[in-house]
A and B are shown apart, each in its own frame.
Chain A
Amino acid sequence: MNISDNSSPIAIHCESVSKNYKKIEALKNINFDVKRGEIFGIIGPDGAGKTTLFRILTTLILPDNGTATIDGFDVVASYKEIRKRVGYMPGRFSLYQDLTVEENLEFFATVFNTTIEENYELIKDIYIQIEPFKNRRAGKLSGGMKQKLALSCALIHKPSVLFLDEPTTGVDPVSRKEFWGMLQKLREQGITILVSTPYMDEASLCDRIALIQNGQFLRIDTPENIVGQFADILWAAKSDNMHKLLEDLRNDEQVKSSFAFGDSIHVTVENGQLTVDSLKKYLIERGHKNIEIQPIEPTIEDCFMELSNTQI
């Protein structure tokens, strides 16, 4: 059986899903669909509810309310069917530390009633990078290699939907770029991917994203549309004294928010409130030199900050 040949156009369907842990509302009324072949990103900080959502969708915990289906199968009623067809890479490294690289891979292949050889093509690009260490115990691998082995193990049964819970957390920018390159290749092979990340700059690598905070989706759309819907005017400001610049901007009542963004400060202003020239004049009066203020395109991080400011 090749379970990737699935005709249903919706790979993940999630409707009004909620989950509480005692008094804490971990997920509040989550609704979304992931289309077949999409890379869908769940983007938000620690504690936002990302892992809870992944555990519900991979049938590891039950939702308190709502329903969800994977490839049309209900996560509660048909959990056995779902477990056969999904691959899951949890946030914490959960392979057998005392087994070697190759033994781990063989173990997962056997559990899913297949062999490494049968699906080798799928994992080849990733696995050849760790194959020189195939006799090393998994516990002795570096972070980057563990990540590649975990991905290989999650893929070895050729899943229809791949769940990756924070695969790049704590990983350096170069390895993160490499990892996303691997995901693009997997998508080309028809695998649907739900991936979570706290790194906002990874949003642009997804087809669609959901921004999540405090158990709620702030917005679901393509990264381009989310950026396009940024409601305010955004400027990047610089001067010779960046620390004082931040203070002075915060003291200007017409400025909605100002936060450091790399080598400049991003300033949001409500439409029609303030002009670049009048802000410049205000800053000159406060002794700033070499002032630069430029209108800029928002990043996903700007959008997240704006949405979380207004909604929570």
Chain B
Amino acid sequence: MDTVIKVENLTKRFGDFTAVDNISFEVKRGEIFGFLGANGAGKTTAMRMLCGLSIPTEGKGTVAGYDIFRQPELVKKSIGYMSQKFSMYEDLKVWENLELFGGIYGMHDKEIKRKTDELMGRLNFEEERDQLVKSLPLGFKQKLAFSVSIFHHPQVVFLDEPTGGVDPITRRRFWEMIYDATASGITVFVTTHYMDEAEYCDRVSIMVDGRIEALDSPMNLKRTYNAKNMDEVFQQLARKSTRKAD
């Protein structure tokens, strides 16, 4: 299996404050990689560096084969991103959002048209196709935001707390969509505060005070920390935090 994300000794400092402290890890193609940590542990800063939005202070890293120091623009083209805020244009229709994002990522009109038809059918969205995004229920928006983020078939998609606030059934349906995406070869890098969702990942890293304290499959983590679920693993590790900021 080849590697889609590889970072070595990655560090980011803001003045005296080391937000991300010398982290190293690899993510394999097709993997679902869970990126956990308490608020303020450095997850967002690390994720911004991986997405080419923030230049690291030290270390090395490649995402989708491109160097995050020297080729951040190529990194951006090869990835997808979805945040909890969904970040679609609320005043555009469903199909207009797809056309806009497809165009930004350099897809051809024919391909956009074909994939829009295919997606609307698969999501059972035919009736919503011409509706403004702001009129959609939350669960629909979430599905659409995820579909937009992988519309250009990126090598890896970054999901930043994608399931916050949605109902339990929609939350689980969303994870079923994530599985479908990995089946089509997309690698998934995901953060969440729901510890049951950590169980759905192939491997999970847990950040504490800017460092990766643990990285393994959920089963191995539970064994190592003698815990009955991922919540217990997380509680044990995150309590080690000495950062005063949070």
Given contacts A170-B193, A177-B235, contact A46 B166 (CB under 8 A): yes
**In the complex the two chains form, is A142's CB within 8 Å of B246's CB?**
yes
Q: Are A308 and B167 in contact (CB under 8 A)?
A: yes
Known pairs A143-B40, A144-B39, A262-B199; A305 contacts B246 (CB<8 A): no
Inter-subunit contact A143/B193 (CB<8 Å): no
Nearest first, the 5 closest Cβ-Cβ pairs linking A and B are: A45-B167, A46-B165, A262-B196, A262-B199, A144-B246
What CA separation (Å) do A231 and B222 show in the bound complex?
Answer: 32
Interface 1/0s, chain A 191-216, versus B by CB < 8 A? 00000001110000000000001000
A200 and B231 CA atoms in complex are apart in Å by: 14
Q: Are A172 and B166 also in contact (CB < 8 A) when A177-B235, A243-B179, A262-B199 are?
A: no
Chain A 117-171 residues near chain B, CB threshold 8 A = 132, 142-145, 169-171
B241 to chain A: which residues have CB within 8 Å? 174
How far is A143 from B235 in the complex, measured between Cα atoms in Å? 18
**Size bin of chain A's contact surface:** 20 to 34
B149-165: CB near A (< 8 Å → 1, else 0) gives 00000000000010011
Known contacts A171-B193, A263-B199; A200/B168 CB under 8 A = yes
Residues 249-290 of chain A, each 1 if its beta carbon lies under 8 Å from chain B, else 0: 000000000011111000000000000000000000000000
User: Which residues of chain A are within 8 angstroms of B166 by Cβ–Cβ distance?
Assistant: 45-46, 198
B184-231 interface with A by 8 A CB criterion: 193-196, 199-200, 218-219, 229-231
**Cβ–Cβ contact B234 & A173, under 8 A:** yes
Find A132's partner among B172, B239, B244 (CB 8 Å cutoff). Answer: B244
Contacts of A198 in B (CB 8 A): 164-166
Nearest CB on B from A218, distance (A): 11
Cβ of A251 to closest chain B Cβ, rounded Å: 14
A interface residues (Cβ-Cβ under 8 A, vs B):
44-48, 132, 142-145, 169-175, 177, 198-200, 213, 243, 246, 259-263, 301, 304-305, 308-309
- Tell me the nearest residue of chain B to A258, going by C-beta: B172
| Residues of B in contact with A, size category | 35 or more
Residues of A within 8 A of B169 (CB): 259, 305, 308-309
- CB proximity of A234 to chain B, nearest CB, Å: 14
Using A47-B138, A169-B165, A301-B168 as known contacts, say yes or no to A174 and B244 having CB atoms under 8 A apart: no
List, in ascending order, chain B residues with CB within 8 A of A44's CB. Answer: 167
20 CB-based A-B contacts, threshold 8 Å: A44-B167, A45-B138, A45-B168, A46-B165, A143-B40, A169-B164, A172-B39, A172-B238, A173-B231, A173-B238, A174-B235, A175-B39, A198-B166, A200-B168, A260-B200, A262-B196, A262-B199, A262-B229, A304-B167, A305-B168
Chain B residues within an 8 Å CB radius of A48:
167
CB distance from A226 to the nearest CB of B (A): 14
> Could you tell me the distance in whole angstroms from the C-beta of A77 to the nearest C-beta in chain B?
34
- Nearest chain A residue, comparing its CB with the CB of B84: A170
